Structures are given as structure tokens and as C-alpha cells.
């Protein structure tokens, strides 16, 4: 089982203080120095500025055009400034209602425009939208700065907080007050004027650099094509992979040829099955050198500048490093806590990876090869060894995983756990014909959410898989506003002869992203800001869902042959189980090296721009990275941490941190029953519904009855040689 990595997670809604991209957590402080002045209100004709009469308030995608966005952003920003100016000018003494709630409940127009825009720039972008993003992102950064460094506004927030013990606030109100206060302080509200000015400069520059980084990566990824003209070059590739490559070629008017790209459904099967070693080398080299060619799309100078700016900004706030600033808000709390867990896993994972490398080298020798194992050989020979040891072939599994049935399997798990149902709606607007939309209802038939899926790669879609929102959830004027939740992936496409047949890894990814979606669908929070959870807690709902995907009881229901309808044979299920920990040394080292690289970049103690190549090389040498394995994300294409918003900066470790939580939590389901009603009800109530209304560890302990144990993770990954912490202790001694 490989660790699922989603490009963006459902970590936050559109925070009303900021009016920023709702798919990304807030880790960048802002700056301003004077009360916000009201701005004039333009009124261009735009569907973004009028109330949507569509079912469930779905965005009217068929009416929205790129030219509508800038006027809508301008009006949303102006409206937000007017709202803040009204709070500043209120002659009444500051109260929770007229200051904290007034601030929280504003920004609705800007949030609505932002959710639509950033959803499109991720899933269906084009040159026009990218140009708009470059134009509006600095404006959104400036608005954030304006809000957080508005001295009159901060004085009102401060006055309310100082009287908090006398206000009789409910716990959730006290939580909102504290989070609002922290956002202001972390946003630079306590800085002297000269440092506030520098803060603003840093935020403006970072907002531009992150977009440039991501744009370069999308262009570089889309720009590479491996076109094969000779059938001999297809040696070893399964028929489904060959047909998919032929379909891709036909779409590019390359009839009679085969096209392979750097998109996941294309590159990874090729590296796994192709017998053409030089072509495997060519394809992987293109992948791992993206944005690292010294040309106009090179990202090294950009990322080095971003790391230096983040370090400088953190130190302006009084933190030693950017990681210290970020982790203060996470469960890990400190860089030492993160390194503690990663280091504890690294040594045994490295040992297992070396054993795996030796087995692959032996496979090379057994097949007559005289060369040393290289990164472009690993997947190819790992597949040979896996098939020899377990008689398990991914090609034999795919026919049992047609995309629609896998999705229905995820729906079935959610229904059995939480009683919810999914009904497809074909009458709702969507941004692309491939999008499918479902209404979600609770067990009593009441409306819970709208859920959309967008599964296949396109040139306008960035790589990876993620969950986002077109609308969050909160209580407005006493009415429970329900969310519109999105899943976007890059799965194998259907061919002329077969539906989309998923790999085992894609099956787990579908369940993973669906887990994020469930956290949004079931969320019940009174304030939009409190839907956000710590970065190292946000992956718990997604990663725990993966566990159900391959349980025999669940597979027996949804895993059926796409032609015959026959259920997956019990012997295949048993082979999956036996092979579950195969190649886990590789998977863990590949992931941990990226997490360590992220931490190294963001524990820079001096705000200087290092040479990116030398820095990465030193980082890999320090951790003892094996020559035969490439870090999952090299710095020039590490979009998780250097893309817009930098949501995973000093946070990429969170997948493994959350895996400790999900493994420990799922152990309770295994103990009580996969679909035990009481356990499911507790997980829904304490984890999925609460969002950030309480501290993450408090919620987890309320569900589990204790702090998490690392032991279930070690067993699942086949790394149980690591000395386990006592069950009462957190994974890294700092959770």
C-alpha cells in the first residue's frame, strides 16, 4: 500500500477575513497599517455578482466567462473593505457580535467568487485564467494585509479578547475569538510600522512567485511527449496501456502512433511494464528534471527566493524559522516533533529499501542483465519480483476495478457507516462535460451536500488529486448552509474498447479523496473559519477511508469484472493481502525523503537564497538517500510546498503523521467491527462534523479514548522492527 498523496486537501473554507483560495490552508501572514477606507462599488454585468437561481446554489458555469472574474474580484474586495470600514467606524464598544462575528460573517461575495475561480484554475485552466490569477492574487494578498494590520480593527479584536472571561461565551464562540486573535497576531498586527511595510512587500512577492512556480510546472508537464512509432517499442506493455497510448495519440492527431506523457496514468504504467530500458530512462529523466533546465520555465531561483522570503517573514514575527511559524498551529507543534517522527521511520525504512534493492538486483542478474539497478529500473523489476513472489499482476486486477463500480463501492461504505445516500443529478451546471454531480442525503432524507467528481487528466488540469469546495458550510441567519464538495483526480481514461479500469493505487486514491469529501459533506460548524483543521490532522478522514477499500468484505461487493460481472476471486484478494507490505521500503523512503526535504527548506535560519541544486543535493546526502530511488518530489516541481499558497510548506510530513492517526483509528473499527454503528457514529460526531471547533488532539482522544499509538502504522507498513512507543505516548513524543 503506497501512501496516497493528494495535491491539495479539503483543509479550509474561504476564510471571511481573507477572501482567498478555499482549497488551500492559510499559512501566510499579511500586513496593513491603517483603517480600511470604503471603496466605490462598480456594477458590471456578471453572473458572479448576482444571486444564483440554480438548484442548490451551484455556480452557473455555462454563463461564467473569464472576463467576468476581474470585475467580480474588484467588487468582492471593495465590499470586504466596506464591511471592515463599518466595523472600524462602529461607535458602540467592541463586542463579540459587533466585532468578531461581524468580521467572520462578511466577505461572502469574495468567498463565492474565489471558490469558483480557484476551482477552475486547478481543474480547467487556460491562458486567460492564468493571466487573471497573476493579476488578482497580489490584490487578495494586499486585502489580507489590509485586514490584519488595520490598527483600529485590531484594537477592537484586542478589546474583546481582553474581556473574554466576562462575556459568557459558548465554547465554539471562545474558539472563534481565539482563532481570530491568533490570525491577527500571526498576520503581523503587533509589528512596528517599518516591519509591517516589509511584511506587505514579502507577501506581495510570495503571491506572485507561487503562481509563477505552478504555471511553469503545468507548462513543463504538458510540454513533454514521448511518441512511439514502432510496435517493437511497446514490448512488455499490457494491451490496456497500449490502447490508452493509442487513444492519446489519436486525440493529438497522431493516428497509428502511441503517445506517452508525464501524467500519472501514462508514465507509471510505462515505467512498470516497458521492456525498453532506454525509453524508461528517457521518460523518468524528463519527469524528474521538470523545471530544472536553466530556461524560462526553470523554478530553482523562484523556490530559493520563496524559501528565503518565508524565513525572513517568520523572523519578523519572532519565530526562528518558517517551520516554527507553521507548526505552532499544527499537532506537531515544533520542527523537533516532526523530525522526531520522520527520523524514527527513516532508518528502518531505509534498511528495508536496501533489502528490496538487493532483490531487484538479483532479478536483473537472473534475467541476464549485467547493469546496476537505476531509478528507471525500480518499478519494472519490482513488478517482476512481486509477480514471482505473490503471482499478483496489476493487469489481472484492473478488470475488477471499473471506475464507476469503485465509486459506488466508496458510496456503499459511506452508506453503511453513516447512513448517507448519493443520487446522481444531471440537471446541475458543471464546468466540463466529464464532471458528474451527486446530491447527498442523510439517513433521514434531509439534504446534506452536493458532491462533484472530475476523474480524468486534461491539458488544463494540474496533476495529482485533490478535494475542494465550491461552497463551504456554516450557519447563516440561523439557517444551516450546506456545502458543495469537489473531488478532482487524474485517473486512467476509458478506451474505445473498455471503460476506465483503475490500478490498485488509483482505487486507493479514489477512496482517499472521497474521505476528504466526507469530511466536507458531514461537517457541521457554525462559523466558516472553524471548518479549517490543522494540516497534520486534515489527512485523517481521507487516509482512514483507504482501509475499507481493500477489505475482503467490501471488495466482494464492488470489485466485479467489467465484462462478466463476476466478483473478484478470493484467491486474488488473498494475493492483495499478502502483497500489501511489498515494496514498502521504496514507498516509505520515496515519501519520507520529500518530507525531510520540505523540512530542510523551511528550517533555514538565515533568510538567504541558497543554490537550489546544491541545497537539495546536500539534503539528500545528509539523509543517506539511496542512489536507486528518486525523492518523490524534487524541489523544482514540489508544488505542494512552493505552489500558490504553499499549503504544505513545512507540512508535507502530515501524510505520515495522519497515517499514525488513521491506522490507530481504524484498529478500533477492526476491533469493534468494520461497520460498527457506535464506532462510526463517534467518528462522524467527533472527527468529521467538528472541523476546527476544538483542538485536534482533544477530538481524537474523545473518539479513541486515548492518544494515538504508532504500532498499527508499523504493522501496516511492514516496518514493525521500529521499537513501538507505549500506547499512551504520541507517535513522536510531541503530538
Active site residues: 513
Per DSSP bridges, beta strands 484-488 and 436-441 are: unpaired
419 CB-near residues (< 8 Å, 6+ apart): 442, 443
Reference 66, options 120, 110, 115, 23; nearest CA is 120
Is the Cβ–Cβ distance between 274 and 241 less than 8 Å?
Answer: no
Dihedral sign, CA of 573, 578, 583, 587? positive
**Separation of alpha carbons 55 and 63, rounded Å:** 15
**Rounded distance between C-alpha atoms, residue 127 and residue 135, angstroms:** 12
- Which residues share a beta bridge with 659? none
Query: CA-CA distance, 636 to 306, in Å (whole number)?
Result: 12
Q: Name the nearest CA neighbour of 232 among 203, 258, 265, 268.
A: 258
DSSP code at position 530: G
Q: E strands along 410-455, which residues?
A: 421-424, 436-441, 447-454
Task: Tell me the C-alpha distance between 586 and 719, whole Å.
Answer: 12
User: Are the C-beta atoms of 240 and 501 separated by less than 8 Å?
Assistant: yes
Work out the end-to-end distance of the chain between its first and last CA atoms, rounded to an integer number of angstroms. 25
Nearest residue to 226 via CA among 196, 271, 163 = 271
Which residue do the cell numbers 500558490 mark? Answer: 644
Q: Which residues contact 165 (CB under 8 A, 6 or more apart)?
A: none
Strands 447-454 and 484-488, by their bridges, are parallel
Cβ neighbours of residue 194 closer than 8 Å, sequence gap 6 or more: none
Amino acid at each position: 500500500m503506497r501512501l496516497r498523496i493528494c495535491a491539495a486537501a479539503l483543509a479550509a473554507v474561504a476564510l471571511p477575513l481573507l477572501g482567498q483560495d478555499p482549497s488551500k490552508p492559510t499559512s501566510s501572514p499579511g500586513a496593513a497599517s491603517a483603517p480600511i477606507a470604503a471603496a466605490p462599488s462598480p456594477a458590471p454585468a456578471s453572473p458572479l455578482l448576482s444571486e444564483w437561481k440554480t438548484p442548490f446554489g451551484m455556480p452557473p458555469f455555462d454563463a461564467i466567462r473569464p472576463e467576468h472574474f476581474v470585475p467580480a474580484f474588484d467588487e468582492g474586495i471593495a465590499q470586504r473593505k466596506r464591511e471592515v470600514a463599518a466595523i472600524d467606524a462602529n461607535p458602540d464598544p467592541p463586542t463579540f457580535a459587533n466585532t468578531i462575528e461581524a468580521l467572520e460573517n462578511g466577505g461572502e461575495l469574495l468567498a463565492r467568487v474565489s471558490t469558483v475561480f480557484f476551482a477552475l484554475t486547478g481543474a480547467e485552466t487556460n491562458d486567460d485564467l492564468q493571466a487573471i490569477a497573476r493579476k488578482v492574487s497580489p490584490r487578495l494578498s494586499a486585502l489580507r494585509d489590509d485586514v490584519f494590520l488595520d490598527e483600529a480593527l485590531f484594537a477592537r479584536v484586542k478589546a474583546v479578547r481582553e474581556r473574554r472571561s466576562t462575556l459568557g461565551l459558548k465554547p465554539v464562540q471562545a474558539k472563534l475569538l481565539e482563532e481570530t486573535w491568533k490570525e491577527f497576531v500571526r498576520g503581523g498586527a503587533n509589528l512596528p510600522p517599518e516591519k509591517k511595510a516589509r511584511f506587505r512587500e514579502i507577501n506581495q512577492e510570495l503571491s506572485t512567485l507561487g503562481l509563477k512556480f505552478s504555471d511553469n510546472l503545468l507548462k513543463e508537464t504538458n510540454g513533454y511527449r514521448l511518441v512511439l512509432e514502432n510496435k517493437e517499442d511497446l514490448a512488455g506493455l499490457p494491451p490496456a496501456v497500449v490502447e490508452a497510448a493509442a487513444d492519446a495519440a489519436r486525440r493529438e492527431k497522431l493516428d497509428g502512433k502511441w503517445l506517452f506523457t508525464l501524467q500519472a496514468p501514462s508514465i507509471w504504467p510505462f515505467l512498470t511494464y516497458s521492456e525498453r530500458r532506454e525509453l524508461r530512462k528517457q521518460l523518468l529523466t524528463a519527469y524528474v528534471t521538470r523545471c530544472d533546465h536553466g530556461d524560462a520555465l526553470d523554478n530553482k531561483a523562484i523556490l530559493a527566493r520563496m524559501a528565503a522570503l518565508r524565513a525572513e517573514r517568520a523572523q519578523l514575527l519572532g519565530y526562528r524559522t518558517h517551520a516554527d511559524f507553521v507548526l505552532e498551529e499544527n499537532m506537531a507543534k515544533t520542527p523537533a516533533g516532526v523530525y522526531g517522527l520522520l527520523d524514527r521511520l527513516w532508518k528502518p525504512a531505509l534498511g528495508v529499501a536496501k533489502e528490496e534493492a538487493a532483490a531487484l538486483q538479483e532479478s536483473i542478474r537472473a534475467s541476464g542483465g549485467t547493469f546496476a539497478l537505476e531509478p528507471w529500473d525500480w518499478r519494472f523489476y519490482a513488478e517482476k519480483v512481486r509477480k514471482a513472489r505473490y503471482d499478483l499482476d496489476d493487469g489481472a486486477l484492473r478488470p475488477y476495478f471499473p471506475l464507476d463500480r469503485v465509486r459506488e463501492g466508496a458510496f456503499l461504505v459511506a452508506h453503511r457507516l453513516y447512513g448517507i445516500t448519493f443520487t446522481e443529478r444531471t440537471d446541475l451546471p458543471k464546468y466540463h462535460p466529464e464532471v458528474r454531480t451527486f446530491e447527498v442525503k442523510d439517513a433521514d432524507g434531509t439534504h446534506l451536500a452536493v458532491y462533484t467528481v472530475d476523474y480524468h487528466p486534461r491539458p488544463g488540469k494540474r496533476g495529482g488529486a485533490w478535494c475542494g469546495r465550491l461552497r463551504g458550510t456554516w450557519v447563516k441567519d440561523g439557517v444551516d448552509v450546506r456545502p458543495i464538495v469537489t473531488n478532482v483526480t487524474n485517473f486512467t481514461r476509458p478506451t474505445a474498447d473498455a471503460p476506465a479500469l483503475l490500478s490498485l493505487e488509483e482505487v486507493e486514491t479514489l477512496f482517499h479523496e472521497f474521505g476528504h469529501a466526507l469530511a466536507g459533506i458531514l461537517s457541521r460548524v457554525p462559523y466558516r473559519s472553524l471548518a479549517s483543521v490543522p494540516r497534520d490532522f486534515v489527512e485523517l478522514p481521507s487516509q482512514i477511508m483507504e482501509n475499507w477499500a481493500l477489505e475482503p468484505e467490501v471488495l466482494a461487493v464492488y470489485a466485479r469484472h467489467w465484462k462478466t460481472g463476476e466478483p473478484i476471486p478470493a484467491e486474488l484478494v488473498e494475493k492483495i493481502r499478502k502483497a500489501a507490505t511489498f515494496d514498502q521500503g521504496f514507498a516509505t523512503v520515496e515519501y519520507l525523503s520529500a518530507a525531510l526535504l520540505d523540512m530542510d527548506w523551511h528550517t533555514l535560519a538565515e533568510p538567504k537564497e541558497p543554490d537550489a541544486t546544491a541545497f537539495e543535493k546536500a539534503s539528500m546526502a545528509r539523509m543517506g538517500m539511496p542512489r536507486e530511488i528518486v525523492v518523490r518530489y524534487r524541489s523544482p516541481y514540489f508544488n505542494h510546498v512552493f505552489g500558490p499558497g504553499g499549503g504544505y510548506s513545512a507540512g508535507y510530513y502530515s501524510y505520515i503523521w495522519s497515517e499514525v492517526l488513521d491506522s490507530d483509528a481504524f484498529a478500533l473499527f477492526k476491533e469493534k467491527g468494520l461497520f460498527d454503528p457506535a464506532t462510526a457514529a463517534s467518528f462522524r460526531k467527533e472527527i468529521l462534523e467538528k472541523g476546527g471547533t476544538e483542538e485536534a488532539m482533544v477530538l481524537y482522544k474523545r473518539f479513541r479514548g486515548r492518544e494515538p499509538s504508532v504500532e498499527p502504522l508499523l504493522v501496516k507498513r511492514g516496518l514493525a522492527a521500529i521499537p513501538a512507543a507505549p500506547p499512551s505516548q504520541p507517535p513522536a513524543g510531541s503530538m
